[in-house]
Amino acid sequence: MTALALPTPIVTTDWLADHIGQAGLMVIDASTYLASAGRNARAEYVSGHIVGSVFADLDWLSDERSALPHTFPSVAQFSERMGQLGVSSDDAVVVYDGSGQNFSAPRLWFMLRAFGHDRVAVLDGGLRKWVADGRVLEVGDPAIEAARFDARLDLTRLRDVDALLAMQGDPSAQVADARSPGRFEAAEPEPRPGVRGGHIPGSRNVHYARLVRDDGTLRSADELRAIMTQAGLDPTRPIVTTCGSGVTACAIVLALDAIGAPPAAVYDGSWTEWGGRSDTPVETGVAR
């Protein structure tokens, strides 16, 4: 069977509508939300999702032994659980979420990429655009046939706290923080107790919500480059991304990939780790 040609890193709702149900294509709802949003991603999936899609709980796909949220699991865990979702190593995968802002779909897109699965794309505009375009939804839980997924982790796509500490004082280092300006500047409280406000010294703020248009689709390449440049970043050089727990950091990685930038890395512990420690330096206020 000829492998399905998958545009990456983004596919349109038109492309998905033309290919949905085709052999070798898996569609995954990777919605998740902050507790403050008051939304139940799993319940929303059951009440209406793209036909044939399966639901991936990002907590279930993360390292359950870690005290930090959403950190990368082992190769064995990721392989097993992607297989339980019915995803095989040969499948083309389209990931979406219901945020209308690329809140969490890019996280699973990035995880698949980091675990060696390049044939993955994010649905441009997600579920909101799909519905706005008049596309069909289905309800309930689909039957899933388990598959074999063989992951291999590219450690160059991840950074830990020691790597970020080593970057302090390096004028060539670039760190992009996807949290809201209020959280970045410590003008808003952090959603997790015991975590300080502010940002990693020297990091730049690129709020994930700025990367999409009003309809949730990714901005043009020129607009994305301008956003990076205005934030004080050079998208032609390597960038490490961070956020609250490593989820929305991947929206920056997606945007960088879309403009042909060098592969970005994600600080896996992100602000929950950095701001939750007492031995890490913190800046407040606007980036300087």
pLDDT of residue 36: 83
Domain boundary pick from 112, 129, 153: 153
Catalytically annotated residue among 243, 250, 252, 264: 243
- Residue 12's contacts (CB-CB under 8 Å, 6 or more residues apart) are 123, 124
Do 239 and 209 share a structural domain?
Answer: yes
- In 3-state terms, the chain is what percent helix, strand and coil (to 5)? 30, 15, 55
- Note whether 142 and 70 are same-domain residues: yes
pTM score of the predicted model: 0.97
DSSP per position, 115-178: TT---EEEETTHHHHHHHTT--EE-S--------------GGGEE-HHHHHHHTT-TT--EEE-
146 and 171 both lie in a single domain: no
| 126 within some domain | yes
In a domain, 288, yes or no: no
In angstroms, the CA 27 to CA 137 distance is 13
Both 143 and 160 in a single domain?
A: no
pLDDT of residue 34: 87
Instruction: Give the whole-angstrom CA distance, residue 101 versus residue 245.
Output: 17
| Statement to judge: residues 87 and 61 lie in one domain | yes
- 139, 166: one domain: no
Residues 204 and 116 in one domain: no
Q: What is the CATH number of the domain that holds 180?
A: 3.40.250.10
Q: Beta strands of 23-119 (E only): which ranges?
A: 25-29, 49-50, 54-55, 92-96
pLDDT score, position 162: 98
Catalytic residue status for 243: yes
* Domain end among 107, 122, 153: 153
Query: How many folded domains does the chain comprise?
Result: 2
Q: Does some domain include residue 137?
A: yes
For 133, the domain range is 10-153
Can you list the residues of the chain whose pLDDT is less than 70? 1-2
The per-residue pLDDT for 37 is 87
Do residues 53 and 173 share a domain?
Answer: no
Decide which of 153, 168, 186 is a domain's last residue.
153
- At 1 the pLDDT is 53
Position 3 in a domain: no
Do both 162 and 129 map to the same domain? Answer: no
